[in-house]
Amino acid sequence: MRGGHPEQREPGGGWGELRSPGAPGAGIPQQRPTTGPTDSTGPASPRQDYLDAFAADEAADDVFTRRTPTGDPHASVPGRDGGGDDTPPAGEPARGRGGKGRAFAGVAAAAVTTVLAVVVAGQVADGRDADAVRSQAGADKARGHHGAPSRGDGRPTPSGSPSPVAPLTYEQKMALKYPLSPSLDGYGEFEAIPGIDKAPGTGDKYTYRVDVEQGLGLDGELFAQAVQRTLNDERSWAHNGGRTFERVYSGEVDFVITLASPGTTADWCAKSGLDTTIDNVSCDSAATERVMINAYRWAQGSPTYGDEIHAYRQMLINHEVGHRLGYSHVTCDKDGDLAPVMQQQTKFLEYDGIRCKPNPWPYPRS
């Protein structure tokens, strides 16, 4: 009486050759050949080897059954079932550990292995996808995005990098009003604006310096640029080449045009006997070197000019420098005419029933 069947190994791997875990293609079933001879005269395929082994195993098992001592196909044979708890009930063939049993067990094991390989491969792929999603989510979070971009407030969604903002031009800056309190009383300390603006004309040259009170928060460079452009305009005191104005940083000057807080303006104007506190105006402090421009008016303008703040600033410069040049106050004498630049246009445009139009220039029709 022989023992169990010798272990059957199929050459070439009919259901897939097992490989070491680190070998290429490990855990992946190999495809069976679909071409080549399959009859008894040619080389047998792995599938044919399997079928032949199965038939031989079954024939040997039948012989073994017939040689049991009792002839009973259900008799328990030492070495066959091992006397365990898996002895089949009456009526079932006792061949669960025979060739077919091992074949079916091998098929089942191969199927399970294949399923596990597919599941593991899927999990690896899912893990990579999840890592990719997490990486993308992290990148979106770092950029400040959360999901698909959307706007609920009606604003357009920006695309790409933001375009650089172009700096404001001189005209744009001069068209803006700036916040400043009408009761501001500054430190009284001045700072000269650096640089030189050469006189552009050939007439009588006047040199001046631009001082700005510290702590105002206004653009001193813009103020200096406005003074130079305004005074040398053909409609201004440089009309017809009679005068030309040059800004310097230091040295002897004909006057210092000064941008100062209302409080400091009042102090300097009082030195020449002028009271600027009633209407919060500017002055030419003739007893000193300073032509005082009230920073509140420079920043906010006046009701007489409304939103025409650029023109109002030109009028402030021309009016106060006009005093320095020797011109006094005048008023218009015909309704609807342009107001003379030496009229107190910050205070009024209407006088004795005559209403004039705002005008920033000494020679407006030039």
Mean pLDDT of 168-195: 97
Which percentage of the chain shows pLDDT scores above 90? 54
Distance CA 73, CA 69 (A): 10
Instruction: Please name every residue paired with 355 in a beta bridge, in sequence order, or none if there are none.
Output: 350
Write down the residue that tokens 């813009």 correspond to: 222
- Please say if the pLDDT value at position 193 is more than 60: yes
Higher-pLDDT residue of 23 and 322 is 322
What ranges do the domains of the chain cover? Answer: 1-76+96-136, 170-355
Mean pLDDT of the chain: 74
35 CB-near residues (< 8 Å, 6+ apart): none
Question: Which structure tokens are listed for 219?
Answer: 């653009």
pTM of the model: 0.58
Angle ∠(183,184,187) on CA atoms, nearest 5:
145
Q: What are phi and psi of 218, to 5 degrees?
A: -105, 165
Contact of 153 with 172, CB cutoff 8 Å: no
- Please say if the pLDDT value at position 302 is more than 60: yes
Contact of 341 with 362, CB cutoff 8 Å: yes
Predicted pLDDT at 250: 95
- Please say if the pLDDT value at position 255 is more than 60: yes
**Which tens digit of pLDDT belongs to each residue from 73-131?**
343 433 334 444 444 444 444 444 444 444 444 545 555 455 445 444 455 444 444 44
Mean pLDDT of 235-249: 97
Mean pLDDT of 258-270: 98
Residue type at 335? D
Distance CA 99, CA 92 (A): 16
Write down the residue that tokens 């009383």 correspond to: 185
Question: Which structure tokens are listed for 193?
Answer: 């604006």
Q: Up-side HSE of residue 294: CA atoms within 13 Å toward CB?
A: 28
Question: Which structure tokens are listed for 189?
Answer: 């300390």
Question: Which structure tokens are listed for 88?
Answer: 């089949």
Predicted pLDDT at 319: 98
Burial group, residue 210, by CB count within 10 angstroms (0-12, 13-18, 19+):
buried
Place 164 in a pLDDT band, splitting at 50, 70 and 90: confident
- Please say if the pLDDT value at position 242 is more than 70: yes
Report the range of poorest mean pLDDT among 107-111, 209-213, 283-287, 343-347. 107-111
- Please say if the pLDDT value at position 71 is more than 60: no
Burial group, residue 260, by CB count within 10 angstroms (0-12, 13-18, 19+):
buried
For 257, the 3-state DSSP assignment is: strand
For 192, the 3-state DSSP assignment is: strand
Question: Which structure tokens are listed for 335?
Answer: 């309704």
- Please say if the pLDDT value at position 364 is more than 70: yes
Predicted pLDDT at 158: 55
Place 357 in a pLDDT band, splitting at 50, 70 and 90: very high
Q: Which residue blocks in the chain are alpha helix, DSSP H?
A: 46-66, 99-143, 170-174, 220-231, 262-270, 295-300, 309-324
- Please say if the pLDDT value at position 198 is more than 80: yes
Predicted pLDDT at 154: 53
- Please say if the pLDDT value at position 263 is more than 60: yes
Predicted pLDDT at 265: 98
Which percentage of the chain shows pLDDT scores above 70? 56
What number of other Cβ atoms are within 10 A of residue 91's Cβ? 6
Place 161 in a pLDDT band, splitting at 50, 70 and 90: low
Mean pLDDT of 324-345: 96
Place 216 in a pLDDT band, splitting at 50, 70 and 90: very high
Place 351 in a pLDDT band, splitting at 50, 70 and 90: confident
What does CATH list as the number for 170-355? 3.40.390
